[in-house]
Amino acid sequence: MMGRLGKNWLTLMLTFSAIGLFASSVVIYTYYYLHKLPPLCTQFKSPFPGVTIDCERVLSSKYSDIGGVPLDLLAAVWFVINIVLVITYDFGPGRIANVALSTLFYWRFLGIVVVPYLIYVETYLLHALCIYCTVMHIMIIIDFTIITLYFTKFKRINVQNPGGN
């Protein structure tokens, strides 16, 4: 059964959220549950002057949580909600699907608004990057780009063909 998005759009909408969810889950499991650094989180120089790749510095900083809730957990929730909204839009009934699409756009917009602050904290305040955090940031940026392209295309289709057929 094919939904509203079609195979290509559905794949695009879900893939990057799944990658982001995987990255956040690795950090949650290894760092917060096993109390070890996630794989590939050794300290080494980054391509940015004065900034190192140092997951431990980022994950143990005072900026790594909001009210005691790790940002990685919030990221995982953000990606799960993304996935649920995409599936709801693709397969849900008409009115619910339309609400899901609008909500997805604003939800992803909320994500993109937060990313510059997180990059600022890592690069300018901590002088350290976490590989997994960077992957999540990139996935959020790509997710927003995809929904913006889709939303623009969706609106253009409706303007050209108001019946949507």
Look up the CATH number of the domain holding residue 124: 1.20.1440.130
Q: Is residue 51 part of a domain?
A: yes
How many domains does the structure of the chain reveal?
1
Mean pLDDT confidence for 98-114: 94
- What pLDDT is recorded for position 44? 67
Q: Is residue 111 part of a domain?
A: yes
Q: Is residue 109 part of a domain?
A: yes
Q: Is residue 159 part of a domain?
A: no
Domain of 47, in residue numbers: 6-61+69-151
Provide the pLDDT confidence category of residue 26 given band limits of 50, 70 and 90: very high
Mean pLDDT confidence for 53-58: 91
Q: Is residue 130 part of a domain?
A: yes
Q: Which of 56, 11, 63, 57 is nearest to 37 (CA)?
A: 56
How many C-beta neighbours within 10 Å does residue 87 have? 16
Report yes or no: 65 and 71 within 8 Å, Cβ to Cβ.
yes
* The dihedral formed by the CA atoms of 106, 108, 110 and 114, expressed in degrees to the nearest 10: -170
Provide the pLDDT confidence category of residue 29 given band limits of 50, 70 and 90: very high
- What pLDDT is recorded for position 48? 66
Query: Buried b vs exposed e over 117-141: b needs ≥16 C-beta within 10 Å?
Result: ebeebbeeebebbbbbbbbbbebbb
Has residue 161 got a pLDDT over 90?
A: no
Q: Is residue 14 part of a domain?
A: yes
Has residue 57 got a pLDDT over 90?
A: yes
Q: Is residue 13 part of a domain?
A: yes
Segment 40-51, tens digit of pLDDT: 887 666 666 778
Q: Is residue 76 part of a domain?
A: yes
